[in-house]
Structure 1
Amino acid sequence: MFVNLRCIKKIQIARLLTTGLVLSIVMLCWEDLDHHVVSHVRSYSYRFLVNNHNFLNSSYNLDTNGHRRSFGNSLDPSPLHPYLINQLKKCSNSNDILLLVFVKSSPQNDDRRHEIRKTWGNEDYIQEKFNANVKIVFVLGVHPDLRQRRSQKNVESEAWAYNDIIQQNFMDTFHNLTTKLIMQFHWATKYCPKAKFVMSCDDDIFVHMPNMVGYLRSLEQKHVSNFWVGHVHRGAPPIRRIESKYHVPMKLYPWVSYPDYTSGAGYVVSGDVAAKIYQVMQILNPSMYIDDVFMGMCAQVIGVTPQDYVYFSGEAVTRYHPCIYARMITSHGHADDVRVLWKEATDPQVERMSKGFLSNLYCTAVKVALLCLPHQRGTYGCLGAFT
């Protein structure tokens, strides 16, 4: 057989150049590759092969002297700060509270709070329309900028007018979100212990309250306990890049995988879990400033596993369509369009569209196009098209 040696040399040279180019790209992008690929492989391997986070009990609990162990840039070791504003009567006259909602807000976000009160967080409307006792509480720290402290007077006036703001004396910053989380579960346990379900969410969340009430009532009929539901993150690795907002240094959390947790944008726990979580919060070191991860750590200790429900959003905005509205529970990223979305999502036409065989078939096709096709990236997973 005749072999063209010149052709072989050209092929070898091409392979050599291609290999060199690939290696050069890998070396240049290694940091990103390590973050997005290697760290996730390690984390998922630990999550699905080992699936054991018993180290949390011994590494993050109180030391022998009853003090919280110090981890890196730890927060104030005290789990509680003084209440500047409290609502002692919010739940005192209610013995049958279906849902207590904590909305994590900031002092300057009064416009978001007003929009929520006019839409999905209108307690009177929920009671009248759905015969459901739902309590909405906005959770605040104090403005971190001393020059903006005049806003405190505005917050106090707002709290007096609406009786739905609680505030503790800590800086309202990203790195104090765990402090705000502890505040929520302390308040739920002490001032609203009879609530059947407790929700924590951001102030740019949209909650489809009619669907939420129906969903929780179905759970209530089943007498659920040890219940925690939301958009679940499984096998998530700590982010080690310093420039990231969610950067967690090795000295704070040296392990390769977080326990399973739900997105902090919005999740629900049963009342018994809220009480257990607060008990654990008094034991675990609150140095983990990513609040939804800290929630996962607490739940791991008490043996509560988060359940994923496809219509709880993660960090993205839902696809806008009546077929989506018919089943949605939450959607994240609605700082400016809450009122418009509330009007569209609760339109009576939405309910009519979801009834009947042909309507269900049509909506399934629409949801497949919105949630399942590769070029579409919605808030909900493809499973939502068939749920």
Structure 2
Amino acid sequence: MFVNFRRINKCQCVRLMTTCLLLSVAMLCWEQLDERVVSHVKSYSHRYLGNHFAYINKSLTVSREHARAFSDFRYLLDHPDKCVGKDVLLLLLVKTSPENIDRRNAIRSTWGNETYIRNHLGVTVVVLFVLGAPRTEEGEPSWSKRSGVGFQGRLVDEDRLHGDMIQQDFLDSFHNLTLKLILQFRWTHGRCAHAHFLMTADDDVFVHMPNLVSYLRDVKAEGIADFWIGRVHRGAPPIRSKDSKYYVPFEMYPWASYPDYTAGAGYVLSGDVADKIYQATLTLNASLYIDDVFMGICANAVGVSPQEHVYFSGEGKAPYHPCIYDQMMTSHGHVEDIYDLWKAATAPQVKERTSGAMGTLYCKAVKIFLLCKPYSFNTYPCSAAYL
């Protein structure tokens, strides 16, 4: 019953310590797993046995006057004529923070270079950076300073040089991402409603523009409506842990499941869907600060469902390999490597290595090895290897 510690040798002591360590890790993992399992069981029960979010839509509906509080901000930077007189295949709005000038410059020099797209791909893609007002030392937006200099002054100079920034006077912060989302749809509705497609993306996302343009051309030729693609989250429950960046209190969203939505890192809508989402924002409470979830709420309210595209990344980076580049649409988490990735992913050698019977067979084997692993990087799923 009692352990005689004097008779335990060194080997037995190591075994005992290892066993205790493994049990501790197993208990910790089970606690986390149990919480996730319970959350998802509740989520799917609400989703399939409940009212299919009809009550959520009704509960979040507010008056137009109330909804206007989430969009009625003054423009600090604007380019109302950016789309005038152009046949815009894609309006690409990049969510950025005021301090991320290096990221913006990298995008301007690579996948977001409008001149390259027009000259090499033969289409018009309008790329704009969307941001709020920077914070000052006192915690107020810097535009409010009487001097007119400082961070906001540098943003004005940057926009004067490039002419590609849209900014309103709400504070740029994580908890105002939904305001930034509403700004995108408001600007699109008023300034570029004739664009065939709208894409919203983070400023640390890599977009394989040649692949995306080719794909959207085919979609446009088919005349598809109600088009919304990306990395889809289905039956996702709200995160109730206060330690999480994505914590949502019960008071803000009391239901067990979110409507389907696409990862906010990057997704594409057809023009008709963009207009429907804009109309939904006019009558919905936008207090929920997780912008991609609010997008799902708006879409559900107007009867639009997202479609999975396996080559749109979630929160993870796609593997670095020519066989991946051949079909890549987006990859998340790229900052310092964006120049090298752009050069490698768009090199002519990619098509040469991946085409033909041998190239196809080779790439299928490579993608199975890279994507079909027993753990997830939240990037392309295993099914992408078979396409």
1:175, CA displacement in angstroms?
A: 0.4
Aligned ranges for residues 77-116 of structure 1 at < 5 Å?
Answer: 77-94=69-86, 96-116=87-107
1:32, CA displacement in angstroms?
A: 3.1
Alignment correspondent of 1:68? 66
Alignment correspondent of 1:122? 113
Distance 1:44 1:218 in 2: 35
Distance 1:60 1:293 in 2: 13
Aligned ranges for residues 218-237 of structure 1 at < 5 Å?
Answer: 218-237=218-237
Any idea what SS the aligned residue of 2:93 has? strand
Q: Residue type matched to 2:272 in 1?
A: D
Distance 1:227 1:34 in 2: 36
Is residue 271 of structure 2 the alignment partner of residue 271 of structure 1? yes
Aligned ranges for residues 134-213 of structure 1 at < 5 Å?
Answer: 134-146=125-137, 149=142, 150-213=150-213
1:363, CA displacement in angstroms?
A: 0.1
Alignment correspondent of 2:9? none
Distance 2:367 2:49 in 1: 34
Alignment correspondent of 1:3? none
Aligned ranges for residues 262-301 of structure 1 at < 5 Å?
Answer: 262-301=262-301
Distance 1:31 1:253 in 2: 24
Assess if the C-alpha contact under 8 Å between 2:315 and 2:378 holds in 1: no
Any idea what SS the aligned residue of 1:146 has? coil
1:378, CA displacement in angstroms?
A: 6.2
Alignment correspondent of 2:5? none
Alignment correspondent of 2:318? 318
Any idea what SS the aligned residue of 1:140 has? strand
1:358, CA displacement in angstroms?
A: 1.0
Distance 2:33 2:92 in 1: 39
Distance 1:385 1:24 in 2: 37
Shift of the 339–197 alpha-carbon distance from structure 1 to 2, 3 Å rule, reads: same
Alignment correspondent of 1:13? none
Assess if the C-alpha contact under 8 Å between 2:95 and 2:130 holds in 1: yes
Assess if the C-alpha contact under 8 Å between 1:80 and 1:179 holds in 2: no
Assess if the C-alpha contact under 8 Å between 1:61 and 1:68 holds in 2: no
Distance 1:192 1:291 in 2: 21
Alignment correspondent of 1:16? none
Q: Residue type matched to 1:92 in 2?
A: V
1:191, CA displacement in angstroms?
A: 0.3
Q: Residue type matched to 1:84 in 2?
A: L
1:351, CA displacement in angstroms?
A: 1.0
1:346, CA displacement in angstroms?
A: 0.3
Please, which runs of 5 or more residues in structure 2 have no aligned partner?
Answer: 1-21, 143-149
Distance 1:78 1:380 in 2: 34
Assess if the C-alpha contact under 8 Å between 2:316 and 2:377 holds in 1: no
Shift of the 83–164 alpha-carbon distance from structure 1 to 2, 3 Å rule, reads: same
Assess if the C-alpha contact under 8 Å between 1:77 and 1:285 holds in 2: no
Alignment correspondent of 2:17? none
Distance 1:85 1:277 in 2: 23
Q: Residue type matched to 1:173 in 2?
A: S
Shift of the 355–302 alpha-carbon distance from structure 1 to 2, 3 Å rule, reads: same
Assess if the C-alpha contact under 8 Å between 1:371 and 1:378 holds in 2: no
Q: Residue type matched to 2:107 in 1?
A: I
1:26, CA displacement in angstroms?
A: 9.2
1:79, CA displacement in angstroms?
A: 2.2
Distance 2:158 2:355 in 1: 42
Distance 1:224 1:366 in 2: 33
Q: Percent identity?
A: 52
Shift of the 28–200 alpha-carbon distance from structure 1 to 2, 3 Å rule, reads: closer
Assess if the C-alpha contact under 8 Å between 1:371 and 1:377 holds in 2: no
Any idea what SS the aligned residue of 2:170 has? strand
